[in-house]
Amino acid sequence: MYEQIKLAYAADALEPVIGRETVETHHGKHHATYTTNLNAAAEKAGVADKPIEEVLANLDQISDAATRTAVLNNGGGFYNHNIYFEQLRAPRDDNRPTGAIAAQIDADFGSFDAFKEKMSGLAVGQFGSGWAWLSADAAGKLYLSQSANQENPISQGTGHTPLLTIDVWEHAYYLDYKNLRPKYVDEIWKIIDWDVVEKRYENR
Ligand SMILES: [Fe+2]
């Protein structure tokens, strides 16, 4: 059975960047529903015993189209939100990565600020609901990408390991920012837990 991650912080810990009500609804309702629906769909597809990464990388092995779509939508919703909520922490000024991931960001994008601008642009520019991603290949090279709805670099078949994501579904920011997605994306950099991102990079 798939279980959504428990938050390592209080629901109001991300304020003022993301408010308590958003966290409670987003994690407690949206993410919880994806998880419940994934468990039903994965059972139907006969893949419920497999790690979610393996399921999402092999969706073509689910022959029934409606079940495959249900596993993609709810499996992506489950996995993407685990990545998202695990990588957040209380706001910090001048919040930046350190260690190997910081060095690789400089190598691949020129500077942290250049990287941030590029990833923010992808998050703001994603048409409709979706996500922006930082991911790595096996050699450690970094990639930026977008995905629609509940797709991610795994379901898109890139073979890359997701390291960091920005949820740009309206439910992620509407209570706090209304229609101002660029403001939400600008603020979220204050609450990225770079220690979690660094660990994902080391374990890719
Ligand atoms: Fe979301």
From the list 48, 33, 41, the residue with the least C-alpha distance to 65 is 41
Separation of CA 82 and ligand 1 centre (Å): 10
Separation of CA 81 and ligand 1 centre (Å): 6
CATH number for domain 99-202, candidates 3.55.40.20, 1.10.3720.10, 1.10.1040.10, 1.10.645.10: 3.55.40.20
Report CA 108 to chain centroid distance, whole Å: 21
How much is the pLDDT for 100? 97
Separation of CA 147 and ligand 1 centre (Å): 13
Q: What are phi and psi of 107, to 5 degrees?
A: -65, -40
How much is the pLDDT for 46? 97
How much is the pLDDT for 134? 98
> How buried is residue 111: exposed, middle or buried, by Cβ count under 10 Å (0-12/13-18/19+)?
exposed
Residues in the chain with pLDDT < 50?
Answer: none
How much is the pLDDT for 85? 98
pTM of the model: 0.97
Tokens found for residue 65: 């189209």
Tokens found for residue 80: 């993407």
CATH number for domain 20-86, candidates 1.10.287.990, 3.60.130.10, 3.40.47.10, 3.30.750.24: 1.10.287.990
